[in-house]
């Protein structure tokens, strides 16, 4: 409720103070425009940080809602911003989100963050601290600590939040929830999530050659919180995903999509342990590659979640890089598991079910059960399904913090925060696997042969302190989360 | 029995007919030499096919027995052979094992085959047909069909056989079997077996460089039954392992070592189904590398063995390239899973679990506290002489006289199981337009050696030999 007033306040201030204030006179009241038309003054004024690639998509989706005004575009790379600037010629363009928020804060109601992962938290937090609603691409953050901070900040600043795992608004995950809530598979005890990603080069050494920085790119701003290192060709606009300084690997790319149904169905919180193994690459015979700067080509992560209220513990397996779990015995030899390369499989005390990425194409196993079993629809569908994920946030932001629309968002930070933390626990395990210790002439890898025990409330690995460096990274001087 | 005679016959013939026959007069009876000395006539005359690398160490191990005489050395690559030539200066050299067997078979009692995988079966079979005992490096063969043929040939020709998975003679697997036979973990239901191998670059595609064939190498002979193709320096002497034309990948390299303890302990036969997944690598964004001629960098395989005599089905999970199964709950968070090299075996039974490292090393019950509590009698004989000398002794004793750790009646089905994994990996890469019809569960009719739900997979049961290398199996 209070937020609604704040929004209204800021809209009023916007009309009063912004450089566009003179335009206020021309704002057409809604009734003049007729039914189904939204007056510009009732639209959500969105600033987009990261305006190319997935950011451009997101902006288009907000625009399609008919209730959003793409008011500001911000990108550190002019090349990436070209299309969005063409499409939204009235939007003012910035390179530095800090400058944009500082100068235009009063004219902005909501912020969409679609930067490389390492900038998510610092940009989103800055916006939230100005009480802006935020839509943040998946994974919510780069670090576990950042995810925790954003989750708390959403309440502190009473803003409407949504993570960009659009599949969480799809019907598939709700069908899985309906089956589960009706007890069709009993209590879930094991979940397999898998993907054929990464679909970019990963498990490689950081190039030692530097390239000249393209004139359209402000690389220092692009680096943001990341350590100051040389630019190399190909690190952007996409391949930063494979470098821990910036990205979060296959987990960061796909786990928020593929693990979201697991969280929604089983109501998972923080894991209590994490273990991993990774595919090893050999440069030459007997010479194993060691590329700790880059995510692995494939991994297998196991997270354990303590059962609540007498329910069994849940063992969640993540496999990426093409490695897949075993086919459930109930799946016919010639049937496709998941969507082929990706999927989620639930093993319960009374049955099994599976789906593809984003929870699409949900099926009970054996698949003949899918049509035999009828359960009531207990979970409301999102109009438009996964495409409705964007409009739902726009509408919820207009309705304000605490509104039903905000509470019903598929991936507000109370959901997205713990989900992202679990995704990042996988990365913590992967990076701990590569921790080297010199012992005389020998090199040891103490994080490789153990299970990491996690104290969720205190965000601490309790049996291998070196792993805790991956809970929260150090930002470059001059950058702070401000909490 | 008959074989014993055969050996004696051939030794007698050797003395009669060979170019060295004149030496027969000088053979010294054993009693003259005194205790611990072996008369030359009681020695096993061994021919080594492939005498560098692992072949070199195999021959060195045989020669630790005073009863072994390394009499012939055969290698297609003189560089590989150099060390063995030096070590066994009296041995006669050959490049072509066909010529060696043809000319010298009367002087040979036993043959050791340590070539690239694609040559194992044809070389071993040729030796067996001549009634020679054989020691064949792991994996026994390149193809499932070949493994079945060698297994049958061992009985038909009554020769003493051993596959070179030397860990099979270790104490570890015997400790595991004693626990299992005493019912400590009940009936096995799931086997998890993993390795950090391949330890060479794999899944990277066929080499594109054209290299000159080194003068010391007879490339055509090296190819053996493999189809004619260009020489690439990557292939010799080691990385042929990563290409299906010659090798059998990580499974072929380590599967026989790692799966053996589980296979023997549980007493497995032929699997009834297999499925796999493998790592996808992207050098180019969005387009996975596609190298069907190359073994993958990492894979996960599951085989099912139908339960026998009312026992439960057994599921075997194989993971290589660094991917491991999850740690069992009974293992403390800081306790070592498998071994420190990155390999291991976990057997889950209806009443408990046990684990070991590669080659059956460090067997232990889970949780670790059980190792102190549980005491079972030692019912199985250990092999203090080791895997190699065990075979030397068994050859001298004759067919059917001594039990071996990895004779072909056992090593054959073990190898077939490993090669079933490879059949699944290769089927995974069969492309039909944009589809991959082999990415499903494959159902195996073991008796007839046939995949029943995906006929294209059957091309991997038995490959086509190059013309001139065909074997007359039966």
Nearest Cα neighbor of B244 from B104, B402, B372, B427 is: B427
Tokens of A432: 């701990």
Instruction: Return the pLDDT at A38.
Output: 60
Average pLDDT over chain A reads: 92
- pLDDT surpassing 90 at residue B26: no
Quick: pLDDT tens for B358-387: 999 999 999 999 999 999 999 999 999 999
Tell me the C-alpha distance between B224 and B122, whole Å: 9
Q: The domain B171-380+415-460: what is its CATH number?
A: 3.30.360
Nearest to A300 among B283, B302, B324 (CB): B324
- Listing DSSP states for A412-430 in one string gives -HHHHHHHHHHHHHHHHHH
Taking only the tens place, the pLDDT of each residue in A2-55 is 344 444 444 444 434 443 333 334 444 444 444 555 666 689 999 999 999 999
* Cα–Cα distance for residue pair B392/B394, rounded to 1 Å: 5
Tokens matching residue B474: 């039966």
pLDDT score for B36 = 55
Place of tokens 């960009």: A164
Segments making up each domain of chain A, as ranges: 2-168+386-416, 170-235+250-380+420-470
**Substitution target from B207, B241, B242, B279 for chain A, most A beta carbons within 10 A:** B279
Do the chains contact at A333 and B324, CB–CB below 8 Å?
no
User: Cβ–Cβ of A450/B334 closer than 8 Å?
Assistant: yes
The dotted CATH code for B2-168+385-408 is 3.40.50.720
- Average pLDDT score over residue span B305-321: 96
Please report the pLDDT score of residue B39 as a whole number: 63
User: How far apart are alpha carbons A5 and A47 in whole angstroms?
Assistant: 20
- Report, in angstroms and rounded to the nearest whole number, the Rg of chain B calculated over CA atoms: 23
Scanning B112-141 for CB atoms below 8 A from A yields none
Could you give the CA distance from residue B77 to residue B218 in angstroms, rounded to a whole number?
Answer: 6
pLDDT at B247 over 90: yes
Spell out the alpha helix ranges (H) of A375-412. Answer: 388-399, 404-407
More confident residue, B36 or B420: B420
CA distance B18 to B41: 14
Structure tokens at A396: 């919820």
- Distances from the Cα of B414 to the Cα of A478, B116, B251, angstroms: 62, 19, 11
CB < 8 Å to B198, chain A:
282
pLDDT value, residue B24: 37
Is the predicted pLDDT of residue A349 greater than 80, yes or no? Answer: yes
Contacts of A367 in chain B (CB under 8 A): none
Set of chain A residues whose Cβ sits within 8 Å of the Cβ of B327 = 275, 302, 451
- Of A323, A437, A464, A465, which to mutate for an interface test with B (greatest number of B Cβ within 10 Å)? A323
Q: Provide the CATH topology of domain A170-235+250-380+420-470.
A: Dihydrodipicolinate Reductase; domain 2 (3.30.360)
Per-residue pLDDT, averaged over B18-45, amounts to 54
Rounded Cα distance, B417 and B411, in Å: 10
pLDDT in tens, A286-344: 889 999 999 999 999 999 999 988 999 999 999 999 999 999 999 999 999 999 999 99
Residue percentage of chain A with pLDDT more than 90: 87
Mean of pLDDT values over B31-35: 51
Beta bridge partners of A111: A47, A134
DSSP A89: T
What are the beta bridge partners of residue A217? A77
CB-based contact A356:A339 (threshold 8 Å): yes
Minimal CA separation from A438 to chain B, in Å: 16
Q: How many CB atoms lie within 10 A of CB A204?
A: 18
Report yes or no: A180 and A188 within 8 Å, Cβ to Cβ.
yes
Q: pLDDT at position B8, please?
A: 41
- DSSP symbols for A154-173: HHHTT--EEES-GGGGSHHH
Q: In what order do the strands lie in the sheet with B364-366?
A: B364-366, B353-356, B344-349, B188-194, B314-320, B299-305, B273-278, B442-445, B450-451
Please write the tens of the pLDDT for every residue from A220-234: 999 999 999 999 999
**Beta strand extents in A285-329 (DSSP E only):** 287-288, 299-305, 314-320
Asked if the C-beta of A286 comes within 8 angstroms of chain B's C-beta atoms, the answer is yes
Burial class from Cβ neighbours inside 10 Å (0-12, 13-18, 19+) for residue B254 reads: buried
Distance, in Å, from the CA atom of A317 to the CA atom of A344, rounded to the nearest integer, reads: 10
Edge-first strand order for the sheet with A343-348 is: A363-365, A352-355, A343-348, A188-194, A314-320, A299-305, A273-278, A452-455, A460-461
Please give the residue of chain B at the shortest CA–CA distance from A317. Answer: B326
Mean pLDDT of A67-84: 98
> Which residues are CB-neighbours of B257 under 8 A, at least 6 positions away?
B138, B165, B167, B358, B359
pTM of the model: 0.90
Q: What is the mean pLDDT of residues B6-15?
A: 41
The residue-averaged pLDDT of A245-257 equals 97
Cβ pair B333:A297 closer than 8 A: no
Q: Given an 8 Å threshold on Cβ–Cβ distance, is B298 in contact with A300?
A: no
Longest alpha-carbon distance in chain B? 77
Picking from A280, A336, A463, the nearest residue to B321 by CB comes out as A280
- Nearest CA of chain B to the CA of A281: how many Å? 7
What percent of chain B has pLDDT above 70?
Answer: 91
Q: In chain B, which segments carry CATH 3.30.360?
A: 171-380+415-460
3-class DSSP state for residue B222?
helix
Which CATH number is A2-168+386-416 given? 3.40.50.720
Instruction: Return the residue of A nearest to B330 by Cα.
Output: A451
| Chain A residues 313-332 within an 8 A CB cutoff of chain B | 315, 317, 319, 321-324, 326-327, 331-332
CA distances from B211 to A416, B52, B208, B224, B244 (A): 55, 22, 9, 19, 20
pLDDT at res. A29:
45
In this predicted model, what pLDDT tens digit does every residue of A259-288 receive, in sequence order?
A: 999 999 999 999 999 999 999 988 888 889
CB contact under 8 A, A333 and B273: yes
Q: Kindly state the DSSP code that residue A208 receives in the 8-state scheme.
A: S
Q: Across the interface, do B196 and A280 touch by the CB < 8 Å criterion?
A: yes
Residue ranges of B 300-339 with Cβ closer than 8 A to chain A: 300, 302, 315, 317, 319, 321-327, 331, 333-337
Numbered ranges of CATH 3.40.50.720 in chain B: 2-168+385-408
């Amino acid at each position: 409720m209070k937020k609604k007033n704040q929004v209204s306040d800021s809209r009023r201030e916007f009309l009063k103070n912004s450089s566009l204030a003179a335009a206020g006179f021309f704002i057409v009241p809604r009734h003049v425009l007729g039914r189904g038309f939204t007056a510009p003054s009732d639209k959500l004024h969105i600033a987009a940080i990261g305006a190319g690639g997935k950011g451009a998509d997101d902006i288009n989706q907000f625009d399609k809602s008919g209730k959003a005004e793409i008011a500001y575009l911000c990108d550190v790379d002019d090349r990436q911003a070209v299309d969005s600037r063409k499409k939204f010629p009235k939007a003012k363009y910035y390179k530095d989100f800090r400058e944009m928020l500082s100068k235009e804060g009063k004219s902005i109601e909501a912020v969409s963050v679609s930067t490389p992962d390492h900038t998510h938290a610092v940009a989103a937090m800055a916006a939230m601290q100005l009480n802006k609603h935020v839509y943040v691409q998946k994974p919510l953050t780069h670090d576990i600590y950042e995810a925790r901070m954003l989750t708390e900040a959403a309440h502190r600043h009473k803003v409407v939040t949504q993570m960009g795992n659009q599949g969480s608004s799809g019907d598939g995950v709700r069908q899985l929830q309906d089956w589960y809530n009706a007890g069709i598979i009993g209590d879930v005890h094991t979940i397999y999530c898998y993907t054929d990603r990464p679909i970019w080069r990963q498990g490689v050494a950081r190039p030692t050659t530097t390239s000249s920085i393209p004139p359209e790119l402000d690389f220092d701003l692009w680096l943001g919180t990341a350590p100051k290192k040389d630019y190399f060709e190909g690190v952007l606009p996409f391949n930063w995903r494979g470098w821990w300084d910036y990205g979060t690997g296959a987990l960061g790319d796909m786990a928020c999509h593929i693990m979201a149904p697991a969280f929604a169905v089983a109501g998972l919180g923080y894991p209590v342990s994490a273990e991993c193994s990774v595919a090893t690459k050999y440069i030459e015979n007997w010479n194993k590659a060691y590329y700790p700067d880059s995510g692995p080509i494939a991994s297998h992560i196991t997270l354990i979640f303590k059962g609540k209220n007498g329910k069994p513990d849940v063992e969640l397996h993540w496999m990426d890089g093409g490695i897949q779990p075993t086919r459930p015995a109930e799946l016919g030899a010639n049937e496709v598991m998941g969507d082929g390369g990706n999927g989620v499989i639930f093993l319960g005390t009374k049955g099994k079910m599976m789906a593809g990425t984003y929870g699409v194409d949900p099926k009970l196993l054996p698949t003949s059960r899918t049509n035999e079993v009828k359960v009531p629809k207990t979970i409301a569908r999102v109009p438009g399904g996964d495409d409705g994920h964007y409009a739902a946030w726009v509408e919820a932001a207009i309705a304000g913090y605490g509104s039903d629309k905000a509470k019903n968002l598929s991936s507000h930070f109370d959901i997205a925060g713990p989900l992202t933390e679990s995704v990042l626990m996988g990365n913590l395990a992967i990076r701990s696997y590569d921790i080297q210790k010199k012992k005389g002439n020998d090199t040891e890898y103490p994080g490789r042969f153990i299970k990491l025990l996690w104290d969720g409330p205190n965000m601490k690995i309790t049996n291998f302190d070196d792993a805790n460096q991956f809970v929260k990274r150090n930002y470059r001087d001059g950058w702070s989360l401000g909490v | 029995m008959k074989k014993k005679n055969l050996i004696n016959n051939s030794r007698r013939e050797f003395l009669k007919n060979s170019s060295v026959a004149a030496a027969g007069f000088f053979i010294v009876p054993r009693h003259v030499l005194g205790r611990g000395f072996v008369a030359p006539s009681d020695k096993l005359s061994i021919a080594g096919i492939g005498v560098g690398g692992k072949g070199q160490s195999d021959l060195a191990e045989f020669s630790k027995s005073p009863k072994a005489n390394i009499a012939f050395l055969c290698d297609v690559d003189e560089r590989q052979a150099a060390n063995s030539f030096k070590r066994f200066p009296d041995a006669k050299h050959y490049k072509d094992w066909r010529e060696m067997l043809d000319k010298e078979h009367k002087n040979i009692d036993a043959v050791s085959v340590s070539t690239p995988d694609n040559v194992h079966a044809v070389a071993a079979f040729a030796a067996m047909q001549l009634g020679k005992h054989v020691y064949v490096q792991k994996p026994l063969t390149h193809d499932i069909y070949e493994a079945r043929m060698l297994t049958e040939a061992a009985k038909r020709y009554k020769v003493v056989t051993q596959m070179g998975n030397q860990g099979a003679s270790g104490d570890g697997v015997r400790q595991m079997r004693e626990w299992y036979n005493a019912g400590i973990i009940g009936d096995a239901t799931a086997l998890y077996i993993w390795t950090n191998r391949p330890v060479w670059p794999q899944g990277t595609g066929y080499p594109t460089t054209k290299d000159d064939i080194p003068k010391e190498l007879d490339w055509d002979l090296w190819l053996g039954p493999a189809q004619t193709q260009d020489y690439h320096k990557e292939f010799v002497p080691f990385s042929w392992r990563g290409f299906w034309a010659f090798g059998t990948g990580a499974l072929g390299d380590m599967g026989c070592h790692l799966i053996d303890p589980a296979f023997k302990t549980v007493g497995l036969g032929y699997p009834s189904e297999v499925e796999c997944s493998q790592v996808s690598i992207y050098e180019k964004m969005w387009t996975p590398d596609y190298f069907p001629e190359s073994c993958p960098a990492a894979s996960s395989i599951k085989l099912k063995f139908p339960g026998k005599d009312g026992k439960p089905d057994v599921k075997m999970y194989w993971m290589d390239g660094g991917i491991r199964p999850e740690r069992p709950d009974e293992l403390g968070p800081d306790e070592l899973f498998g071994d420190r090299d990155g390999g291991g075996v976990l057997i889950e039974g209806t009443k408990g679990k046990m684990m070991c490292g590669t080659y059956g090393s460090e067997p232990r019950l889970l949780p670790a506290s059980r190792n102190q509590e549980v005491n079972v009698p030692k019912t199985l004989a250990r092999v203090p002489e080791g895997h190699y000398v065990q075979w030397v002794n068994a050859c001298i004793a004759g067919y059917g006289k001594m039990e071996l750790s990895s004779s072909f009646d056992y090593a054959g089905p073990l190898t077939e199981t490993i090669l079933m994994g490879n059949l699944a990996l290769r089927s995974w890469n069969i492309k039909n337009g944009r589809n991959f019809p082999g990415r499903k569960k494959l159902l195996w009719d073991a008796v007839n050696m046939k995949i029943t739900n995906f006929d294209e997979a059957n091309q991997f049961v038995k490959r086509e030999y190059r013309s001139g290398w065909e074997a007359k199996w039966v």
